Structure 1
Amino acid sequence: MLKLGYKASAEQFTPAQLIDFGVLAEEAGLESVFISDHFQPWRHTGGHAPHALVWLGAMGARTSRIAIGTSVLTPTFRHHPSMVAQSFGTLGSLFPGRVILGIGTGEGLNEVPAIGCDWPERKERFARLREAVRLIRDLWTEERVTFEGDYYKTDAATIYDRPDTPVPIYVAGAGPMIAKYAGRFGDGFITTSGKAHELYAETLVPNLEAGLADKGRAPDAIDRMIEIKLSFDTDKARAKEDTRFWGALALTPEQKADVEDPLEMEQLADALSSDQTASRWIVTDDPDEVVDRLRPYAELGFNHFVFHAPGPDQAGFLSNFAAHVAPKVRAAFG
């Protein structure tokens, strides 16, 4: 089933502004709103980093229908998995059927400054994530949990306030192993747009489907979500310039890997031209172009498009999107 969502830009706007935008997204008829869980933003000047779990509680209280979730939270370093289980158990109890826990292996920028850890290699981060998911699900489904893992332990732990149906866990990633893991154990898969088509067609989707097959799960057993970087404006030049705030997205993984300071990340991003910062985005004033650019993702089976707009006028974006883009997307893929 096709779903359209809104990405609340936690790094760009105040928590109160993001609540208002989320309400507008629900009023615009969208199905979901997701927020990143960042301890620090990717740029220091003009940046924000609200606590995602606090924000989700406020968002749920201000809305009545729209699904709310993290895209993504790292349940392995500054968040202990047992605390994640408790937090999302509470959120799921308050807003049954509306809460999604989106998780990933994390970035040093968010974890190292907060707790002073040594940022481990990808292999350990992935192992921690797998163990965290086991513990979270045990805490949601068992009465008393004594857990002895390689990284986490609990002693007769109980989550007392939890929903009747566990909160779905969406796994985010951009590599083959985590895509396969999402297919085997996730309720949803999250990735982002704007990279080479081969990554999605030859790496992510085949491994996601291999993971589903490994566990005997149907191809449609998992929600396939992709964050669509969309700068849509009646003024195409302005749409292009709006991408500069998010210049860090255009940096290579190698450029970003060891950067743990928003000031340094900002300097790297600001050195890019608007042509470079726009490279990760659909930059257009034409709704039909949006449909055309989404088609390759839809043909690969992605059914949940969450739109991230880079500009300062998010209310204007949501109004224009609801009026001009969403109807065409639903007609094409719904």
Structure 2
Amino acid sequence: MPSSDVPDITPTASRSPPRARARFVRLSVPVIATFRRVGLCLHPNHMILVVPEVGFATAPARSAVSRARTFKMPFSKQRAMGLEFHYYVPGCFQDPQSDIELGKYAAERGFEGVWIGDHLLPWLDNRPYTHQILPWLGAFMNEVPEVTVGTFVTCPIARYEPPVLAQALATLDNMYPGRFELGVGTGEALNEAQFIDGDWPDWETLASMLVESLEVIDRLWEAEEYVGYDGTHFQYDPMRLYTRPAEPLPTHWAAWGPKSAHKAGVHAGNLMTASPPEHISERLVPDFESGLAEAGRSLSDAHVSTQFTAHVGDPDALVDEIREKGEHTPHDTELDNPDPRDVQAAADAELAEMSDAEIREANNIVEDPSELVDRVTALDDAGVTRVILVSKVGDFRETIDVVADECMSAVE
């Protein structure tokens, strides 16, 4: 349990916006950061309409009046919950600078956030890179202003000491206020096993470690005085962060099952997954919502994000590329395997047994963009608030373009 010498931290009340004549105003980086701190996620291409005594509305600058979504003053934790499109940079297919350029391209096409995977070793031995995310995040945020940036996901239980990660992320937030969001998960053996004594733990133990790690991080982000921690898995003498974020950073818990989704609601307040619509709506959201209620939160204040794998192009060529590269992740059988070479062998064996049609279905390979629209709409209907696009083969920019041109307008 947490140490008793942790001080009580009372959050500062949000302030209502000043009175002003009704007018549209283009959003600046400081204004976007301020809105995010009270729970509203706005995009730099949006404008805001301020109406005295009534409220405010946001909309894309190109059509501010017709697409405005209204909110009542004073400010609250209620979010602008239209479906957002973000982009996932895996950090394993090309060099770090090329991934910065790819994320930048997605942002230029209207994606509201860019996320990166956090791996020491790649899932598959055939993947040529794994970037260390902390220098990459700083370089990307310096190169690409304004968009949300986050990890999908970081495991702060073994490879990272929680206080060290807390300090690093607080530093990023001081440099680029209000932009970073932390995605966390219980981890995979290939990234964490070398840093854990003994056998790879079961999921319940890993989840307990993650809960404690988040408690350590949150307390250090909040505490103005020295605080210690005495848990089952982590023990620290009193310390403090001298560089702290202005507010604790948004945290997203990666979940694939109901038990984990419940913990996401209790301990993080936001949910991440990579699941189909039916699984999200029937197996994840109900338990996530019950966890939120247990923590005194509401689903209307939370993000439900899902990784959305998609590939646009010639189906036969894309299937051939997947087979040639062995680009298939056998999550169901290899989660506890610490060696990418072994995982690659298992992937190759599974691919050899899969038909071309099965590969197309598993990787969401389409030639007709309308198929992607239907699948994104299904995610929206399932309660997803953020679709995080990822591609593994083919022309990444072509898929970005199709989603930007076809899917974004279809769900506005």
Normalising by structure 1, report the TM-score.
0.91
Bigger fraction of residues in helix = 1
The residue type paired with residue 299 of structure 2 is P
**Paired residues of 1:242 and 1:310 also in contact (CA < 8 A):** no
Q: Does 1:240 align with 2:328?
A: no
| Residue matched to 1:329 | 407
Query: For 2:273 and 2:336, how far apart are their aligned partners in 1?
Result: 21
| Residue matched to 1:263 | 341
**Paired residues of 2:167 and 2:243 also in contact (CA < 8 A):** yes
Mark the CA change 1:246 to 1:160 in structure 2 (over 3 Å): closer, same or farther: farther
| Residue matched to 1:67 | 148
Query: For 1:90 and 1:115, how far apart are their aligned partners in 2?
Result: 27
3-state SS of the aligned residue for 2:125?
A: coil
Q: Pick from 227, 246, 252 the counterpart of residue 170 of structure 1.
A: 252
Q: Does 1:185 align with 2:272?
A: no
**Paired residues of 2:254 and 2:272 also in contact (CA < 8 A):** yes
Q: How many residues align?
A: 325
Which stretch has the larger CA shift, 110-119 or 147-156?
110-119
Report Cα offsets for 1:280-331 as digits up to 9, x if no partner.
321102221101112222112101011001125333433xx2xx33243233
| Residue matched to 1:121 | 202
The residue type paired with residue 280 of structure 1 is A
Deviation at 1:213, TM superposition (A): 2.4
3-state SS of the aligned residue for 1:220?
A: helix
Query: For 1:87 and 1:223, how far apart are their aligned partners in 2?
Result: 24
The residue type paired with residue 408 of structure 2 is R
Deviation at 1:94, TM superposition (A): 1.1
Deviation at 1:240, TM superposition (A): 3.3
**Paired residues of 2:315 and 2:360 also in contact (CA < 8 A):** no
Query: For 2:303 and 2:409, how far apart are their aligned partners in 1?
Result: 20
| Residue matched to 1:149 | 231
Q: Pick from 163, 167, 180 the counterpart of residue 99 of structure 1.
A: 180
**Paired residues of 1:65 and 1:98 also in contact (CA < 8 A):** yes
3-state SS of the aligned residue for 2:119?
A: coil
3-state SS of the aligned residue for 1:204?
A: helix
Query: For 1:89 and 1:280, how far apart are their aligned partners in 2?
Result: 38
3-state SS of the aligned residue for 2:328?
A: helix
Q: Does 1:280 align with 2:362?
A: yes
Mark the CA change 1:117 to 1:109 in structure 2 (over 3 Å): closer, same or farther: farther
Q: Does 1:224 align with 2:304?
A: yes
Q: Does 1:89 align with 2:170?
A: yes
Which stretch has the larger CA shift, 21-30 or 121-130?
21-30
Query: For 2:160 and 2:316, how far apart are their aligned partners in 1?
Result: 41
**Where does 1:1-20 land on structure 2 (aligned, <5 Å)?**
1-20=82-101
Q: Does 1:204 align with 2:284?
A: yes
**Paired residues of 1:177 and 1:207 also in contact (CA < 8 A):** yes
Mark the CA change 1:207 to 1:192 in structure 2 (over 3 Å): closer, same or farther: same
Normalising by structure 2, report the TM-score.
0.74
The residue type paired with residue 21 of structure 1 is L
Q: Where in structure 2 are there 5+ consecutive unaligned residues? A: 1-81
Report Cα offsets for 1:143-185 as digits up to 9, x if no partner.
2111111111222211111221221111111011221121223
**Paired residues of 1:247 and 1:277 also in contact (CA < 8 A):** no
3-state SS of the aligned residue for 1:293?
A: helix
**Paired residues of 1:243 and 1:281 also in contact (CA < 8 A):** no
Deviation at 1:44, TM superposition (A): 1.6
| Residue matched to 1:307 | 389
Report Cα offsets for 1:42-92 as digits up to 9, x if no partner.
122342111112211111111111111100000001111111111111111
Could you say what the CA RMSD is over the residues aligned between the two structures, in angstroms?
1.9
Query: For 2:364 and 2:275, how far apart are their aligned partners in 1?
Result: 9
| Residue matched to 1:77 | 158
The residue type paired with residue 29 of structure 1 is G
% of aligned pairs identical?
A: 30
Which stretch has the larger CA shift, 124-133 or 283-292?
283-292
Query: For 2:386 and 2:185, how far apart are their aligned partners in 1?
Result: 18
Q: Does 1:41 align with 2:122?
A: yes
Q: Which has the larger radius of gyration?
A: 2
3-state SS of the aligned residue for 2:299?
A: coil
**Paired residues of 2:126 and 2:326 also in contact (CA < 8 A):** no
The residue type paired with residue 36 of structure 1 is G
Query: For 2:315 and 2:298, how far apart are their aligned partners in 1?
Result: 41
3-state SS of the aligned residue for 1:82?
A: helix
| Residue matched to 2:51 | none
Q: Where in structure 1 are there 5+ consecutive unaligned residues? A: none
